[in-house]
Amino acid sequence: MDLKDYPHYFLYITFLYLVMLAYGLDFLLSAATYGILEGAEAGIMIAVVIFPAVLLAMYALKGKLWGLYSRRNALRLLCTIFMLASSAFTAVFIIPLTF
């Protein structure tokens, strides 16, 4: 792991996102177990919560698989934006529903 590829702000946002991902996955899995989430709403919520994890995995692989190594900074920025959006969505909509 090369630390120049992971600036401090990115590590902080990643930690925040991983905590929010745990809350989001807990809510989604329990809602799916009880049959509460169905249809397009469930798909949208799953996409909002999971898509940044896919981008984070692409960034962690250093873009070797998809040829994105030359666009590494753009991928990190895109990943940061989606992690912040997903964390905000989880904090505003999902966490209040769990209490």
Q: What is the pLDDT, as a whole number, of residue 72?
A: 80
Q: What mean pLDDT is predicted for residues 40-67?
A: 84
pLDDT tens digit string along 59-83? 888 756 666 667 788 888 999 999 9
CB 24 within 8 A of CB 49: yes
* Tokens 């909002």, residue located: 48
8 Å CB contact between 67 and 75 = no
Q: How confident is the model at residue 86 (pLDDT cuts 50, 70, 90)?
A: very high
| CB-based contact 87:20 (threshold 8 Å) | yes
DSSP three-state, residue 1:
coil
Rounded distance between C-alpha atoms, residue 58 and residue 54, angstroms: 6
